[in-house]
Amino acid sequence: MPPRSEEPRRDAMGSRRGSSRDGRGTDPRSGEPGVGGISDARAYTPRGRTIREGGGTARTGVGGAEQRRTPRGGRSGDPFRPALQVLDGGRSGAARTGRREAPAGARGGVVRTVSARPVREPFDDDEVPPGRRPGPRRPERPAARRPVRKKRRPPKLADPRRRLRLGTLLALALFTTIGIRLVYLQTVDTPAFADGGLVNRLTVVELPAPRGTIYDRTGAPLAHSIEARYVYADPPKVKDRVATAKLLSPLLGVPASDLADRMKERTLPGTSIKSRFEYLARGVPIDKAKQIMALELAGIGTHRDERREVPGGDLAANLLGFVSQDMIGLEGLEAKYDDLLRGQPGRKRYESGRGDLAAPIPGGFSETTPPKPGSSLALTLDRDLQFQAQRILSTQMAQTRNSVGAAVILEPSSGEVLAQVSYPGYSTAAPTKVNSPADREDAATSFVVDPGSIHKAITYGAALQEGVITPDTVFPVANTITRGGVVFKDTHPANGQRMSIPGMLAFSSNVGTIEIAEKLGPDRLIDYQKRFGLGQRTGEGMPGEAAGRLLPANEWSGSSYGSVPIGHSVDATPLQMAAAYAAIANDGTYVQPHLVKATIDPEGKQTPAAAPRTWPVLSPQNATALRRMLEAVTTIDNGPGERATGLAAAVPGYRVAGKTGTGSRYVDGKLQPGAVGSFIGMAPAEKPRYVVAVFVWSPGGEGSALAAPAFREIMGFTLHHYRVPPSATDKSPKFEVFPR
């Protein structure tokens, strides 16, 4: 077999390396054979450089011998020419470098050039690809001398793993900070941030508290609250205030200008928040509210409310009074006991949307304070008795013009007021429709008058109790008497005849009464006036009650000795005088008149009112004697000239004891024209159950003719209403006016 060294070496693709058969083995620059193909291309790559560029030497040798090789022509090597070349079959390699013969049996034709390790430059890379052996370096043609350029070191690239770790740490730190802040906001600052914006999202709706009911003694309601509606506006949502007000005005009975003003946008006091709720009307009937809602007006709504109603219309209106639209008592018992009757309104606050989503937010803030209903009052009034007394008094008063009247019905034993009537009256549904605010007052407690002759019962009672007179006392009575330059005379002159005490009461003798009072003295008379309750408020329960006035003894003038005993120079109210006669009817014991029987809490528990004050005024014997003498006023009828003044007050079938009176009225210290006619009586006289007082003031002086008939009808109805047996077995005693 021919030596393998004679065969040209082939590359991996099967082509012969270093062959010049087709001319591809020739060096393109030197023209030397043996270099070409892939090996030549490999030699031009940077990884092929193994010698210093610019004309360095190479050491070659065979068997460890080293030889120096200088590029041909003395030029420096191409900087991109490989430092090692694979020689073609040893033809040119033998000429340039020493070659060692291969031993027999070995691969022939291959010459290996062994060179010393070259000096390594910064950009040299003499590593040989795996599986390739470096061959002998082919001498290079000397290159043209080129200027040597300073090599710059490329920038050192950062380690990507370090960048990744740094980025991860930064991201974790950022997320940790955000997480801690979120936890802090959700746990620590949640209430502060939530409350900060809560006010702007809250809708507040007032929940009215039902006002307590006022009952009569039988449990019938005199004034109570019924379900109604209130109409409100949400000002920011009202589109056209003027047009909306014009539509609501006829339904609410409120001027359109007032409604338009209430719909203006306002800022809540102390805040920058705009009001979302303004009342337009309270206590609107439900049917009216339905008509309003049917209009579908933007920003207008209704909600549950209450309205005060007096079933009797004007029944006891002067006593009960009335309330405002906000259910606050303004007059009468409604005002006096407003704190008791008025409940505590509730309130509902909740988060709601705005605009078209103005509805509660599910799961949002919601707080409800339930309303607390007010307590109720149980009065001593009897609804039926009150109604009839009002009817009777109004009928009698219709005979006069511009007059004022009052009527009181008392139960002497308990001091309970069964009826208390004022004229003129009014309807609580329209409290402003009166001629004067005074027409709404309770005349029984605010109508201050000179009581006149009805005061004589106090003078005679004091004289009996002090022993100045007895029921059998008789003395001559002149037609007139002068005191302090003032002449006092009798309407029924006795012409100096001896007159009995019952006769003096029956004919209302001024002269006889003044003579008895002189024996009593001013101090004792004033003391008994106080014992009978004059000069001080009764404490019945009505607001604005007048106390009246008594003339102190040190202020008496000469005429006072004549005027005070017969009921002048004394200021009293109809209720005070009624309570004084009730003391006579109650065997001489005064019982404070009162209107309130009990209070009833929202759960229905009744608490009786405080017991009325009581004190003795007369002994039972003297009280009985005085009642018998007062019967003469309604019974003596001895023909023309000898008829008692109170015959018109007699109640058929019952013994009646009472007294007529004619007094004066002063307003702001000025004497008013006309006169005050009155009658106060009790029945049955043998054991009185009720006391009725009637007062009538009229500019024309017709009161005296109206009071007694009104008393008769009111007392008659009261006795029949309570089924009091007639006095058939106890006839009235016979009285002598002028005993012989």
Worst-scoring range by mean pLDDT, 32-36, 327-331, 359-363? 32-36
Q: Encoding tokens for residue 515?
A: 């003579």
CB 696 within 8 A of CB 403: yes
CA distance 303 to 145: 109
Distances (CA, A) of 152 to 78, 126, 149, 156: 20, 20, 9, 12
Task: At 732, give phi and psi (nearest 5°).
Answer: -65, 140
| β-sheet with 202-207: strand ranges across | 202-207, 346-351, 366-369
Confidence of residue 189 (pLDDT cuts 50, 70, 90): low
Q: Topology of domain 386-425+439-721, per CATH? A: Beta-lactamase (3.40.710)
- Cα 496 off chain centre by: 76
**Amino acid letter at 329?**
G
Worst-scoring range by mean pLDDT, 100-109, 164-173, 406-415, 421-430? 100-109
Closest CA to 662 of 625, 613, 702: 702
Q: Which residues contact 444 (CB under 8 A, 6 or more apart)?
A: 406, 407, 408, 420, 421, 422, 542, 573, 574, 575, 578
Q: Which residue has the higher pLDDT, 197 or 386?
A: 386
Which DSSP string corresponds to 122-139? TT---PPPTT----PPPP
Worst-scoring range by mean pLDDT, 30-39, 172-181, 334-343, 537-546? 30-39
Strand blocks (E) in 290-415: 300-309, 346-351, 366-369, 376-379, 404-411
The helix/strand/coil state of 229 is strand
Q: Which residue has the higher pLDDT, 644 or 112?
A: 644
Rounded to 10°, the helix 241-252/286-294 angle is 150
Which pLDDT belongs to residue 17?
Answer: 41
Which pLDDT belongs to residue 610?
Answer: 94
Q: Does residue 259 have a pLDDT over 80? A: yes
Helix (H) or strand (E) holding 289: helix 286-294
Q: 606: exposed, middle or buried (C-beta count within 10 Å: 0-12, 13-18, 19+)?
A: exposed
Output DSSP code: residue 314.
S
Read off the pLDDT of residues 690-718 as tens digits, 9 standing for 90 and up: 999 999 999 988 888 999 999 999 999 99
Read off the pLDDT of residues 454-509 as tens digits, 9 standing for 90 and up: 999 999 999 999 999 999 999 999 999 999 999 999 988 999 999 999 999 999 99
CA distance 187 to 176: 16
Which pLDDT belongs to residue 346?
Answer: 85
Mean pLDDT of the 544-550 span: 93
Which pLDDT belongs to residue 616?
Answer: 97
Task: At 305, give phi and psi (nearest 5°).
Answer: -145, -175
Q: Which residue has the higher pLDDT, 85 or 295?
A: 295
Worst-scoring range by mean pLDDT, 338-347, 628-637, 650-659? 338-347
CA distance 612 to 590: 10
Average pLDDT, the chain: 81
Read off the pLDDT of residues 25-60 as tens digits, 9 standing for 90 and up: 444 444 444 444 554 544 444 444 444 444 444 444
Mean pLDDT of the 347-374 span: 77
Closest CA to 240 of 260, 216, 215, 262: 260
CA distance 448 to 460: 23
Confidence of residue 150 (pLDDT cuts 50, 70, 90): low
Rounded to 10°, the helix 703-721/383-397 angle is 160
Rg (alpha carbons) of the chain, rounded to whole number: 64
CB 444 within 8 A of CB 678: no
Mean pLDDT of the 144-168 span: 74
Q: Does residue 366 have a pLDDT over 90? A: no
Which pLDDT belongs to residue 357?
Answer: 62
Worst-scoring range by mean pLDDT, 139-148, 300-309, 443-452, 630-639? 139-148
Q: Which residue has the higher pLDDT, 71 or 236?
A: 236
Which pLDDT belongs to residue 93?
Answer: 43
CB 49 within 8 A of CB 83: yes
Task: At 688, give phi and psi (nearest 5°).
Answer: -60, 135
H helices, E strands: number in the chain:
21, 27
Read off the pLDDT of residues 135-148 as tens digits, 9 standing for 90 and up: 555 555 655 566 66
Q: Where are the domains of the chain?
A: 1-144, 203-379, 386-425+439-721
Q: Is the pTM of this model over 0.75?
A: no
- Domain 203-379: CATH superfamily is Penicillin-binding protein 2a (Domain 2) (3.90.1310.10)
Q: Does residue 669 have a pLDDT over 50? A: yes
CA distance 304 to 230: 6
Confidence of residue 7 (pLDDT cuts 50, 70, 90): very low
Q: Encoding tokens for residue 72?
A: 């041909």
Read off the pLDDT of residues 289-327 as tens digits, 9 standing for 90 and up: 999 999 989 989 998 888 888 888 899 999 999 998 788
Which pLDDT belongs to residue 730?
Answer: 67
Confidence of residue 75 (pLDDT cuts 50, 70, 90): very low
The helix/strand/coil state of 698 is strand
Helix (H) or strand (E) holding 663: strand 657-663
Read off the pLDDT of residues 270-288 as tens digits, 9 standing for 90 and up: 777 778 888 898 889 999 9
Q: Which residue has the higher pLDDT, 134 or 350?
A: 350
Which pLDDT belongs to residue 288?
Answer: 92
CB 651 within 8 A of CB 482: no
Which pLDDT belongs to residue 141?
Answer: 60
Q: Which residues contact 228 (CB under 8 A, 6 or more apart)?
A: 282, 283, 284, 285, 286, 289, 305, 306, 307
Which pLDDT belongs to residue 86?
Answer: 47
The helix/strand/coil state of 458 is helix
Q: Which residue has the higher pLDDT, 616 or 110?
A: 616
Q: Which residue has the higher pLDDT, 3 or 219?
A: 219
Worst-scoring range by mean pLDDT, 6-10, 151-155, 417-421? 6-10
